[in-house]
Amino acid sequence: MLMTTRAIFETMRKAGFPPAVAITMTAIALRESGGNPAAFNGDTATGDRSYGLLQIDMLALGAGYLKTFGITDEKELFDAATNAHAGYMLWNHNNKNLETAWYIEKPVYRERFESHLPAAMWAALESPLGV
């Protein structure tokens, strides 16, 4: 079931992202999964085994990240809150990590990411957890 943009924003805020970064992460989630916490890209031929809202790529990250994320099974990343927490750990209070993990500056990805920013901003304005 798809999450609303506001629900995604609130999930990102509850994971610990400050409001401005939660807006960015909401736009990333919309670009990556269309708001579907059950989204999965298992195309290992292209280097993907990506889970959930933020499409956390466990093939690229490796099993060592399970402990970092506080989980024991990759499938736990289908839970929206767990996925947002994993995204928070990858962000690690450094906006440069957004490019590393989600390529928000690469032209092929940036346009789609930016197309979701207005909806993410509106969600932040409508939410009691917003700016």
Residues 24-40: tens digit of each pLDDT: 999 999 999 999 999 99
CB 86 within 8 A of CB 73: no
Listed in order, strand segments (DSSP E) in 19-115 are 40-41, 50-51, 56-57
Q: Count CB atoms within 10 A of the CB of residue 7.
A: 16
pLDDT for 6: 98
Residues 56-87: tens digit of each pLDDT: 999 999 999 999 999 999 999 999 999 999 99
Query: Which phi-psi region, left, alpha or beta, contains residue 69 (left: φ > 0; alpha: ψ -120 to 50)?
Result: alpha
